Each structure stands twice: as structure tokens, then as C-alpha cells.
Amino acid sequence: MAKTILFGGLTPLHELFIKGAVEGFGYRAQFLPNPDNESLRVGREYCNRGMCNPTYYTVGNLIKFLKEKASQGIPVEEEFLFVTVGACGPCRFGMYETEYLHALKEAGFKNFKVSILNQSEFSSEGDFKLTPSLVWALVKAVWLADIVRDLGYQLRPYEVERGSVDREIDRVSREIYEALKGRAGVLELYSLLKGFRRRLEAIPFDYTRVKPVISVIGEFWAHTTESDGNYHIHRWLEEEGAEVRPEPVAGWIDYQLFIETEKIKRQMKVKGFSFDRLKRLLAVRAMAFVFRSLYQLFRAPFSFRPKALPSQKLLSELASPYFDYMVVGGEGHLEVAKHVYSVKYKKAHMVVSVKPFGCMPSTQSDGAQVKVLSDYPDSIFISVETSGDGEVNVKSRVQMKLYEAKKAADEEFKSLLKNLKVSYSDFKSLFSLPEFQKPFIKLSSNFIGTASRALWANRLKLKSSLETVEEVL
């Protein structure tokens, strides 16, 4: 193909790895710059009225890019092809393709081509051909980006030397990009991850810092992007002293497969059994199994520290008192399910739900979250709407809740010290030993905060070190 494929809309890590995977199949690929508020302005200028925020940001970002290139004398309609994910609704997502074409025409690019990938069927329309081996390469790329990103958010808050984790992430990202471009197999990628772990082992970490764990959920684009589109909420929370749990893109794909399975099961119930339906059911189930196993495999080099993909069945059960899982559109029941999951299974001190301005499914979820909050009064939950402006207001609301989360993390840690009858300075002196400054020390799953998890998992060593000191004295 002569044209360069343009794509965007995820995080910089995902986009780099996707570029590698696509280039491995002989395409020329380029990801768009991160969307900013100028993209939003351009989007509002050319899109129809009443769209949701992600539409304005993503469509505006493409037009902004094309206008810049056109002003440099590049014939963009011959040079580029835009590839994006689409669906048939039921929310505004179903109108993305039309909206892209409409806005491109308004901006003077009426012959510009857009190719749509169907997210639930893994098929494509237009000039970009989605073959099974390309799907597999894209899955590897996205999973790797999820894992590396998750690790970054888990480790950075505890690094002793600021910037050391990001330095290693930059290095492994370049390696993974090159490997994907060379169509590396799973084993080669696995060994790159092992090399990444070895280099992380050389960095010192301080796990005595007590920090609240914050889960960022919400509408898919709004909770995934690391741009003006959500006020860079992940990195901002980290700077405010939190340990952030971002949502993996793999969870979204797992959800699509789960819904597809449920749809086929319902068709069998209502329309009757057929071998074709059975074949489709088995194929989707097998795909989900293989994809989840690959995710597990990529977690393995890091002692399974990156967050596991929760069972979709469990999530649908957790959401069921509040939201029917067959009501699809946006994140469907997932926003509610992830909130309940975080509180019930003690996964985070606080949940931030990011809702883009004009998002119908997130508005529905927010209604249901009120009932979740009355059933789980201990939950520290905040839903914020991102509209491009209003950043100061959103951040100051989150800061107020963050104060509560910091207090909760502190209380969890102090009561653990009290129960174990040890002091903070005892804990600090044990964790100043080089073996406890390693990135992948033992962590318990009985607590939320990383300091508490580290203290509980290593309590016996702490006790025995204290006894040895007493004997010497």
C-alpha cells in the first residue's frame, strides 16, 4: 500500500507498539500527536453539534494534523489513510465514521479515506485489511503496552531516583517497538520483558512511602487517554502523591468478547440451536481464552504484579443489582462493576470515574453509582465530567476526595503497625536494606496500600530482625 496509515486515540505507549505491529506487515504507519485543547476547538468547529467530547477531540485531532501537513504542501488525501475503530452504536460511537467523513468534508478534505475496524467482529472496511495474523500482532502490541504502562504506574511512586522507571520504560518501549516491527513471536517478546525486569531490579525503591491507591475508571476513551482530554489525570494524581491504577485496554477487548458470547447464547435460546451458532460461540470463547492466557503470560516476568484482568462473569454479577449487563453502549455495566469490584475486593482506596461531556452511557452509570454508594457507604468515589474547560474545578474536587483517600491509606497502615506492635522506624530500617529496595518484593493481597502490603507480607522477617537486635542488646 502506498498510503501512510494514520491512527490515534490510545496512550503514547499503545500507539508506538501498534505502529510497530502494523509496520511489521509492510504498511507505513504514523500515529497522530496526543490530542490537545486545540484539537477540541477544531473538532467543535467542523463536527455536528451535540457530539460527545471524545468525538470532538479525536476528529479535531485528525483535522488539525491534516491541516498542518497540507500547509506544508503535502497532498494529504493521496498521502494518508486514517484507520479507526467503529461500532454500530448504540451510543454516539456508532456515528464516529459518519462524523469523521462529515467533518473532513467540512474542513476541505472530502476525498480523504477513513477505514473502520469493527471492534466486536475484528473485521475491517476500507483499504486496510485486518487479517488474523495482523489481529494477533495487534493483540500482542496492546497487551504489552498495558503491562508496561501498569508497571510504570505501580513502580514510579516508589522510585528513589526520580525518572529512573521512565528511563527504563523508554528503553524497553524502543526494544518492543523494534521487535514488533520485526514480527517477533511471543517467546522473543517474553524474553524482552525478562530483560526489562532485570534492569528494573537494578533500580532502588522505597516502599515505606504510604500512598493511597486510586483506580481511574469511566468512559473508555476518557479513562484511557493521557492527554488534555482528561486533564492528564493519571500523571496529575501521581504528582499529587497517589499510586494510580489505570484500566488496561485488554479489559475492554475482553468485555467485547464476553458480550459477544452472551449474545450468541441468547440467540441460541431464542432462535434455537444451530451448528453455525455453536461454531461462533466456541470460536469467541477460544479467542477470549487465548487472549487472557497471553495477558497472564506477559504478567509472569514481573511476578504477576501488573493488575490481572478480572473475570467478566464476576464483573457482570457485581453489576447485576444496578445495571443489566446486556445494556451495551460505552462501558455498559463496567463502570458500575469496576466500582463495586474495587470496594468489595479492596483494590483501591478511591475510585475516580471520568465522564466526557455529552456521554450518554456514563450519565446512565452515574445514576446507578448513587445506589452503589448507598450500599457501600465506605467507598470514596468521585465522578468528574471532562469538558475541555473546567480543569481547575475538576482537579479541586478530586483533591478534596484525595485527602480522604490519603487519610484512609494512612489509617490502614497505622492500624497495621499497631496490630503488629512495631514502629514506623522499625519498618523503615528493615526496608532500607538493599533486598527490600528491590522492585518486586513480596506484597500481600490482604491490604490496599503498597506500604501496608509490603509490611504484612514481610512481617515475619521484620519480627525476627527485631528479635535479633534485642538479643544483641
For residues 323-342, which are near ligand SF4 according to CB under 6 A? 330
To ligand SF4, the closest distance from the beta carbon of 12 in angstroms equals 20
HEC assignment per residue over 27-39: CEEEECCCCCHHH
Q: How far is the CB of 354 from ligand SF4 (least distance, A)?
A: 10
Provide the CA 130 distance to its chain's centre, in angstroms. 23
* Exposed/middle/buried for residue 270 (C-beta within 10 Å: 0-12, 13-18, 19+): exposed
Measured CA distances, 368 to 107, 202, 208, 350 (Å) = 39, 46, 37, 18
225: exposed, middle or buried (Cβ count in 10 Å: 0-12, 13-18, 19+): buried
Cβ distance to ligand SF4 smaller for residue 172 or 315:
315
Q: In what order do the strands lie in the sheet with 4-7?
A: 28-31, 4-7, 80-86, 113-118, 123-125
What angle in degrees, to the nearest 10, is found between the helix axes of 164-181 and 186-201? Answer: 160
Q: Looking only at residues 28 through 87 of this chain, which bind ligand SF4 when binding is defined by CB under 6 A? A: 52, 54
| From 35, 229, 248, 361, residue interacting with ligand SF4 (rule: CB under 6 A) | 361
Q: Least distance from C-beta 422 to ligand SF4, angstroms?
A: 48
Residue 471 corresponds to which cell in the numbers above?
538479643
Q: Which is nearer to ligand SF4, 360 or 457 (CB)?
A: 360
Binders of ligand SF4 among 114-153, rule CB under 6 A? none
Instruction: Answer whether the bond into residue 306 is a cis peptide, omega within 30°.
Output: no
Q: Which of 157, 332, 356, 439 is close enough to bind ligand SF4 by CB under 6 A?
A: 356
Closer residue to ligand SF4 (CB): 246 or 330: 330
Considering beta carbons, is residue 208 or 256 the nearer one to ligand SF4?
256
Of 98-106, 143-151, 232-240, 360-368: span binding ligand SF4 (CB under 6 A): 360-368
Within residues 87-116, the interface with ligand SF4 by CB under 6 A covers 91-93
Which of these segments, 232-240, 359-367, 405-413, 448-456, binds ligand SF4 (CB under 6 A)?
359-367
Q: Which grid coordinates are listed for 270? A: 431464542
State the maximum Cα–Cα separation within the chain, in Å, rounded to a whole number.
83
CA 229, 230, 231, 233 torsion-angle sign: negative
Q: Is 8 in the site for ligand SF4 (CB under 6 A)?
A: no
Closer of 216 and 359 to ligand SF4 (Cβ): 359
Q: How far is the CB of 388 from ligand SF4 (least distance, A)?
A: 13
Q: DSSP string covering 110-167, please?
A: TT-EEEEEETTTTEEESS----HHHHHHHHHHHHHHHHHHHHHHHHGGGBSSTTHHHH
* Member of 22, 359, 380, 448 binding ligand SF4 (CB under 6 A): 359
The nearest distance, CB 290 to ligand SF4, in angstroms, is 27
C-alpha cell at 372: 452503589
Size of the site for ligand SF4 (CB under 6 A): 13
In whole angstroms, the minimum distance from the beta carbon of 182 to ligand SF4 comes to: 35
Given the DSSP bridges, would you call strands 243-245 and 213-218 parallel, antiparallel or unpaired?
Answer: parallel
Stretch that binds ligand SF4, among 135-143, 259-267, 356-364, 380-388 (CB under 6 A): 356-364
Site for ligand SF4, residues 194 to 233, rule: CB under 6 A: 219, 221
Query: Which three cell numbers, joined as nine digits, stand for 345?
Result: 475486593
Residue nearer to ligand SF4 on the CB measure, 54 or 152: 54
Which residues would be at the binding site for ligand SF4 (CB under 6 A)? 52, 54, 91-93, 219, 221, 330, 356, 359-362
